[in-house]
Structure formats: structure tokens, C-alpha cells
Amino acid sequence: MSKPILLSTPHMGDREQEFVKEAFDTNWIAPVGPHVDAFEQEFCQVTGAAHAAAVSSGTAALHLALQLIGVGYGSEVICSTLTFAASANPITYLGAKPVFIDSDRISWNMNPDLLQEALEQRDRIGKLPKAVVLVHLYGQSADIEPILKVCNQYGIPLIEDAAEALGATYKGRTPGTFGNIGIYSFNGNKIITTSGGGMLVSDDRDLVAKARFLATQARDPAPHYQHSEIGYNYRLSNVLAGIGRGQLQVLNDRVAARRRNYEVYSSALGNLPGIEFMPEASFGNSSRWLTCLTIDPETFGANTEQIRIALAKQQIETRPVWKPLHLQPVFAECECIGGEVAEDLFARGLCLPSGSNLTDTDLKRVIDAILSVYSLVS
Ligand SMILES: Cc1ncc(COP(=O)(O)O)c(C=O)c1O
């Protein structure tokens, strides 16, 4: 039986164990400590963010971001529809309601024209949303400038969900550092990982300090335990921050490896009839966190599900593109502006194994498996 090839697995560098050992040697085995502080500072250096707070997950970072912006019971929050549920779940933790926006075809991310339309319409009825959550999908930045412009026009804070986009660029800068708050994820499948973890960034020092406060149970400055606000236990462990420090040192290599996966796949499969790879928008570099493609079943001769099943039989994991949130049973009541593009990408999109630790042999196995599906149907 051949070894499984998974979608995206952790890929450690040389320094992580050293940093973790240091945490053990100094007994900083807590959600506080020198690695946490250093990880935040180093993250700012790498991304160009002004201030950062390390937390236990990207979801936690998003929850804090929404609360810090003032999202609360009855608020509406605009969110990309083509994304993982974690982009919208924290909106509901606060008793607010997501309103979804369709993707454009250039970036697969939020369509700025539809956002403009949504805000114009809501302004007319005097019911503007409390925030916009803009997702940067699969390592590809959304078109941030027009989105920021329309948010500024209506005075709506922008939260960037860059969980999947660390290492990407938008006009030379890191997605996640343009809006009022950006968040990142270090889950096990992300471009770098702390096994689980996240980061909240902002230009606003006080806001990031408040995020740290809320993430550590909102303890008032007093010798006894005193609380004037409800807090959370969301801080990142010092041990895991040590892993993060090691991972940051290899971020550029990880981006290069993932971009190379895409190059190898697209040069071997890009000319097959009916296959199109996720485009890279002209406004920056995609990290190609996942290499995704769409398949036109009529032209190719098989659909994504048939390909997924054929590859699974050979121990190769592929995944459909995110199911749009407006199609999820849990968000069935929520409004969606547009939706056809995301629905089409879901119907025809497939994510290929994309880890930075894939070998040439692994890539060849994936390519050969897809070619053999094609030779059976053509
Ligand atoms: C787009 C997006 N947003 C948010 C998250 C949540 O991050 P985490 O798993 O660290 O909570 C993820 C990934 O898991 C994601 O892909």
C-alpha cells in the first residue's frame, strides 16, 4: 500500500525544537512568556504589521477582532461567502448576523462591486453593517484597495481574515495589514503552524493591548482577581509560540515550495481540456497555500467528485473548494448578495495536495493519478 499523500501537513524547520526546549528549560510553560513576546515582534517584522497579539487560534483572533470593533447583538456583518465556516462563526458568537457577498473570478475573493452595491443599498435604508470581514482565500489576496475605499466611504471598519494568506502579497505588502484589524491562523494545515494558534494585528496599539487583555480573562490591574468585563482564555502558549518563532524563519522557503507545487502541477496538467488553475491576480503574489483548479466535466470527461474518489483510492487526499457559506444549512437564513460565482467554484473546484514537504515523487503520483483518470474518460 502506497503512503498517503495528504492535502497540507505540518512542515517543521530546524529551530522549532530548540525554542521549545528553551521554554522547558526556563519553565515558561504557560500562555505567557518570552517566546510569546518575541513571536509577536518577529511576526510584525515579517509582515510589516505595527502591533500583534498571539492567540490560541485564528477563530479566537477573529472573535476578538469583531468584539473590539463593537459588533454585538443584532449587528450585521458583511463577510465573503466562499470561505471556511470559521470566517463567519465568530460573528454569530456575538449575536450578530452575517450577510454574505459573492466572489469575483479574478481572485475568487469578495467582489468589490457587489460590496459597493450592498453598502449603497443598506445606506439608503439607514442600516449599515457594523464591519466587513474580507477573506483572502487559498493564499490569494483579495483586491483590497477598492474594498477599503468603499468601507472608508461608509465608515465601516474592515477586518481581514488572512488565515490562509500569510506569505502572500498585495501591491508589495502583506494582506491582513491593510484593514483596521487582520487575523492569521497557525493551524496544522496552514503555511506555517504552531499546531494551533493565531495572530491579531493592527496599526492601533491600544486596540491590540485590549485584545491581549480580553484574551487573558479581562483581569483588571489589581492585586486580587477583579473583572469589569467578560474575557476569554485565548492567549497562545509560550511553548507553541516557540514553534511559531522557528516556523517564521522558514516562511519564505515554505512559500517558495508551495508556489513550486503549483508550477509543477500546472505545467503537467494545465493543458488538459477542461482544467483551469486558480488564477493569480495581477495585484500581488499568491502564496499558493493550496493549489486549486476547476474542472469543466463536459470537456474533461469526469467531474471533481469522480476525480476526488479516483485519487482517494490511491491514498491521495483532495478536497472540494469551500462550500459557500450561504449554502451551509447553518447559515440558510442569511442574506447573500450574488452567489453564482462561489457556487460555480464549489461545483467545479478541487484542491490538490499542496504541502511544502511534498516530494517530486509525491507530486508525480498526484499528476499521474489525474492523467490516468483523463486517459480513462478521453
Ligand atoms: C479562512 C479561514 N478563516 C479562519 C480560520 C480559522 O483559523 P483557526 O483554525 O486557527 O481557528 C481558517 C482555518 O482554519 C480559515 O481557513
Secondary structure string (H, E, C) spanning 168-236:
CCECCECCCCCCCEEEEECCCCCCCCCCCCEEEEECCHHHHHHHHHHHECCCCCCCCCCCCCCCCECEC
* CA separation for the pair 150, 108 (Å, rounded): 19
- Residue 299 pLDDT greater than 80, yes or no: yes
User: Model confidence at 245, in pLDDT bands (50, 70, 90)?
Assistant: very high
Instruction: Give which of 210, 92, 80 is closest to 135, Cα–Cα.
Output: 80
Indicate if ligand 1 lies below 6 Å from the C-beta of 185: yes
Q: Whose CA is nearest to atom 12 of ligand 1?
A: 163
Mean pLDDT, the chain, rounded, equals 98
Q: Which of 84, 183, 321 to mutate to test the pocket of ligand 1 (most atoms within 8 A of CB)?
A: 84
- Residues 29 and 239: beta-carbon distance below 8 Å: yes
Residue 98 corresponds to which cell in the numbers above? 452575517
Q: Mind listing the pLDDT tens digit for each residue in 74-120?
A: 999 999 999 999 999 999 999 999 999 999 999 999 999 999 999 99
Instruction: Work out the pLDDT band at 53, boundaries 50, 70, 90.
Output: very high
In this structure, which residue's CA is closest to atom 3 in ligand 1?
87
pLDDT at 315 over 90: yes
% pLDDT > 70, the chain: 100
Could you tell me the pLDDT band of residue 378, with boundaries at 50, 70 and 90? confident
Report pLDDT for 273: 97
Indicate if ligand 1 lies below 6 Å from the C-beta of 164: yes
What's the 118 CA to ligand 1 centre distance in angstroms?
25
Helix (H, G, I), strand (E, B) or coil at 25: helix
> Ligand 1 pocket check: which of 110, 164, 354 to mutate, most ligand atoms within 8 Å of Cβ?
164
**Model confidence at 305: pLDDT above 80:** yes
pLDDT band, very low/low/confident/very high, at 2 (cuts 50, 70, 90): confident
| pLDDT single digits (tens) 133-158 | 999 999 999 999 999 999 999 999 99
pLDDT grade for 228, boundaries at 50, 70 and 90: very high
All three cell numbers of 202, joined, read 493592527
Q: Which atom of ligand 1 is nearest to the CA of 87?
A: 3
